[in-house]
Amino acid sequence: MDDQNLLYQVDDQIAWITLNRPDKLNALDRPLWKGVQKAIQRADSDHDVRVMVLTGSGRAFCAGDDIAELTASKDPEIARDLFLNCI
């Protein structure tokens, strides 16, 4: 993946998808959500991948949605987007 906030690696038929925002406890903002979706699709379409592991760097797996992004934006689409992606 191009974004350093999400790492993707395949090793021994295992796709490792790593949330890499340890300073934010791997909280999910819109770009990270979209990256996770793309990484899962990528692993799903790779016939050499047998297992997907979603993990987080640092001391937390994931704190949930990035509340700072939600409160900083006046755009209701951001909240809607994050909510629908959680379902």
Tens-digit pLDDT profile for residues 34-84: 999 999 999 999 999 999 999 999 999 999 888 887 777 777 777 777 667
Per DSSP, 55 falls in state: E
> What residues have CB less than 8 Å from 21, skipping those under 6 apart?
5, 27, 32, 57
**Domain 6-86 = CATH 3.30.1520.10:** no
Q: Which residue has the higher pLDDT, 13 or 33?
A: 13
Residue with the two structure tokens 């006046």? 74
17 contacts 39 by C-beta, under 8 angstroms: yes
Domain boundaries, the chain: 6-86
